[in-house]
Amino acid sequence: MSSKLTITDIFKIDGSGIPYLKIVIYGPSLGGKTSMITVYNVLRKVEDPETIYSSLKKIDDPSGRTIFYDQSTFELPKGQGVSVPKLRYQVWTVAGQKRHYIQRKVVLEGADGLIFLFDPTKNMWEDNVESLTELISLKGETLGKSLPYLIVLNKMDLPPEERTPTDKFLDLLIEKGLSNNKGDAYMRVIETSCLQARNELMTLLRSPDIKTKLDEYGRLKKGARPLSVQKVAQPIEQITREIVIHIVKSAKGS
């Protein structure tokens, strides 16, 4: 990388002149994409409210399904493991219903990283396969190369008899050419429950002893995150780090 290059040369720039990343959460309808971004948005508000640049925008139909997309923008908080000055990251979801293919294609444009969210509910298997197949048809050649990605298995709070085993999803990733073996596949997988995280976060924030979980500025201490909430935040925080490292390395190699 030339010594003349600056952060604004390496990253995309938003309308106010700040470098930014775009993260897209992809997957079948009602899999939990909106729940993931909602939990994360609430978490940012109570932990680092100054990092919320643009709050959550939701476009839902009366049934609660996302019609087009959900989107929120954050500034990179301290402790993300990257030494980059002010940087914003946009988190988008896509509508999973079949009729919104064009919207999904548009939202994917310009993505720097991707989180694919599987719904392990047994009757959702075909929807999972269809959604992953569609994504590969749109971005397959870039996945894991110019487009870092993570896999999330949501709804892991369901009883084992009501959900598809993790191994079957690992086999699917191998079948689709995204992994060479189960060990490699599992390295990209995070198991979580957005519903459990939402409920436990709300319970925590309403608890009588909440003040013991706050720092001197009235913000929730990161160590106070319930495990379920940490599991929901992990994919977004991890993919953000991976994107920054990938972009910086690519710039150094150019």
Residue (of 198, 239, 228) closest to 116 by Cα position: 239
Q: What are the angstrom distances between the C-alpha of 54 and each of 26, 71, 78, 221, 243? A: 20, 9, 18, 22, 20
194 falls within a domain? yes
Give pTM, 2 decimals.
Answer: 0.90
90 falls within a domain? yes
Strand ranges in 66-132 using DSSP code E only, listed in sequence order: 66-75, 88-93, 113-118
**Residue 97 DSSP one-character state:** S
2 falls within a domain? no
Residue (of 146, 118, 139) closest to 235 by Cα position: 118
Give the CA diameter of the chain.
58
- Read off the CATH number of the domain in which 160 is found: 3.40.50.300
What does the pLDDT look like over 45-101, one tens digit per residue? 999 998 888 777 766 666 666 656 678 888 876 555 455 667 899 999 888 677 778
Tell me what pLDDT residue 66 has. 61
28 falls within a domain? yes
Query: Residue 182, exposed/middle/buried by CB under 10 A (0-12, 13-18, 19+)?
Result: middle
* CA pair distance 52, 8, nearest whole angstrom: 20
Tell me what pLDDT residue 53 has. 83
Residue 2 pLDDT level (bands cut at 50, 70, 90): very low
The full 3-state SS of 198-244, as one line of letters, equals HHHHHHHHCCCCHHHHECCCCCECHHHCCHHHHHHHHHHHHHHHHHH
* CA pair distance 66, 95, nearest whole angstrom: 5
**Using an 8 Å Cβ cutoff, are 68 and 48 in contact?**
no
Alpha helices in 77-165 (DSSP H): 101-108, 125-139
1 falls within a domain? no
Section 1-30 average pLDDT: 81
- How many domains does the structure of the chain reveal? 1
What does the pLDDT look like over 144-169, one tens digit per residue? 899 999 999 999 999 999 999 999 99
Annotate 165-207 with DSSP letters as a single string: -HHHHHHHHHHTTS-SSHHHHHTTEEE--HHHHHHHHHHHHTS
Tell me what pLDDT residue 1 has. 42
95-99, 226-230, 248-252 — which one is most confidently predicted on average? 226-230
Give the domain range for residue 180.
7-253
